[in-house]
Each structure stands twice: as structure tokens, then as C-alpha cells.
Amino acid sequence: MTFSETSRRITDVLGLDTPPIALTFADEAPSGIPAPPRAVPSACSFWRDAEKGTFFAAAEHHYNCPIGSMVMGFALPEEVQGNLGEVVTGMCEQNYISQDEPPKIPVVPEQHAGIVYGPLAESTTAPDVVLLWATSRQAMICNEALGAASWLSGSPMVTGRPGCSALPLALGQGQPVMSLGCAGMRTFTGIGDDRLLFAIPGGALEQFATALEETGRVNEHMIGYYKEQQERVAAASEA
């Protein structure tokens, strides 16, 4: 099974209008892969650029976003550390986060030289994490496929600010994580207000795609049943 096929399966089941994207951490710049197409104000901006093609963004390409650089686990030079401190202090002063929160923000534990971004369909090696944007209906299917809708399961993992924290959470847990995002993510990515973020660790990708297909099939069956019930009740009320 190629990653192109896996991308198609996920896209077809959910009816995605943006392609799943892949992130692969790299210890050095891969040969033959271009640099980012532009300078970006945030790490999450690269997610939207990755919908259009594959590129390698080194650690320094992320430094305009000190929070994202920290979450991605990059070694931060002194200047970026200073910027990070200023950003965090400002967030605390505005009560956006509490002073006790910063040390608890999830981060990628291993340092790397950078990240290869691109459409999942173009991946030739196993990605570390795959991201997709989902509407509330699509998120419903994903949630059921993960088993999080079962009353026998524990509480589903849904996270928020910063939106990029979903990546280290998914990697650390080895299972997909849904994020409501944050004000920065929605500003910098320009994603619609109706979209949620899903982060799927590469090791769980095939299982996720298979579960999605089965969940999609079951939902189509249930929709047919519900439509028949709707028609029966309407017909009875008109009789």
C-alpha cells in the first residue's frame, strides 16, 4: 500500500477538500528537496504550504514562531529564547495562559535539523505525523473510527492552544489527537472557522485509514435507516 493510496482512502471516506499532509523529522537536509517557498510567521503556516508540494524547512525557518519552534523540539538560539520568553510573558499578563502552564506544554522530545513537509500522497518514506483538516461531520467519523465515541472508552483526547501541541501529543501517545486549534493557528493558516485539526502518528496511519473505511460504511447504513424512519414518520403524519 503506497502513501498515495492511503491518502486517497482517507480523502474519499471523509470527502476532504484539502489533502492530508505529512511531516517527517530529519537530522539533515535531504538532497533533492527544495527549501520552503516563503518565509512564514508561524510553524503552522507550513502546513498550508505543504498542501501544494514537498519542501524541507530547517530549524531556523521556524524561528519567527518561538512557540512553534519550542513545540517542535528545535534547539533555540539565545535570541529566539528571548523572544519566546517575551511571548510567554505577554500571554501570562493577558491571562491567556497561567504562569504554571508553559512547562506543561507538550514538545517533541528529540531535536532534529528540520522537517520535511508535503502532501501525504507524495511521501516516499513513512512520515512521523500526518495532519488533516476536518469539518464537524468529518470529525464525527474520525472520532468514531478511533473508538473515542464508545461509552466504554475513556475521555477522548481533544486539545487546544497551542494548536501545534497536537503533534507531540499524537507522537507521544501513538494515537490520533483532535485539536480545536488556537487563535494563532487560525490566523496564520487562514483555515476556516468550521475546521478542526487531526494529528495522526505515522505508525497508526494504516490502522486509522482502515477504521475510517469501516466507520464510513456503518454510517452510510445508519443514514439510510434514519432517512427511512424520517420518511415513515412524515408519511404517517400526513395520513
Confidence check: pLDDT of 1 > 90:
no
78 within 8 A of 63, measured Cβ to Cβ: no
Q: Which one, of 157, 160, 194, lies nearest residue 177 by Cα?
A: 157
Residue-wise pLDDT for 71-95, tens only, equals 999 999 999 999 999 999 999 999 9
Peptide bond into 162 cis (omega under 30): yes
Query: H or E element: which one contains 212?
Result: helix 205-238
Side chain identity, residue 183: A
Average pLDDT, the chain: 94
In this prediction, residue 147 carries a pLDDT of 78
In this prediction, residue 153 carries a pLDDT of 60
- What is the Cα–Cα distance from 152 to 93, expressed in whole angstroms? 41
Q: What grid cell was written down for 222?
A: 445508519
Residue-wise pLDDT for 44-69, tens only, equals 999 999 999 999 999 999 999 999 99
Q: Residue 66: which residues within 8 A CB-CB, separation 6 or more?
A: 76, 80, 81, 83, 84, 87
The tally of domains found in the chain comes to 1
Q: What grid cell was written down for 83?
A: 523572544
Q: What grid cell was written down for 135?
A: 469539518
- What is the Cα–Cα distance from 35 to 58, expressed in whole angstroms? 8
Q: Which one, of 209, 161, 217, lies nearest residue 4 by Cα?
A: 209
Residue-wise pLDDT for 152-208, tens only, equals 666 557 889 999 999 999 999 999 999 999 999 999 999 999 999 999 999 999 999
In this prediction, residue 149 carries a pLDDT of 63
Residue-wise pLDDT for 13-46, tens only, equals 999 999 999 999 999 999 999 999 999 999 999 9
In this prediction, residue 146 carries a pLDDT of 86
- What is the Cα–Cα distance from 132 to 119, expressed in whole angstroms? 10
In this prediction, residue 155 carries a pLDDT of 55
In three-state form (DSSP H/G/I as H, E/B as E, the rest C), the secondary structure along 164-200 is: HHHHHHHHHHCCCEEECCCHHHHHHHCCCCCCEEEEE
pTM of the model: 0.93
- What is the Cα–Cα distance from 11 to 133, expressed in whole angstroms? 11
Report the range of poorest mean pLDDT among 5-9, 152-156, 211-215, 230-234: 152-156
> By residue range, what is the domain housing residue 233?
3-238
Position 237 confidence tier, pLDDT thresholds 50, 70, 90? confident
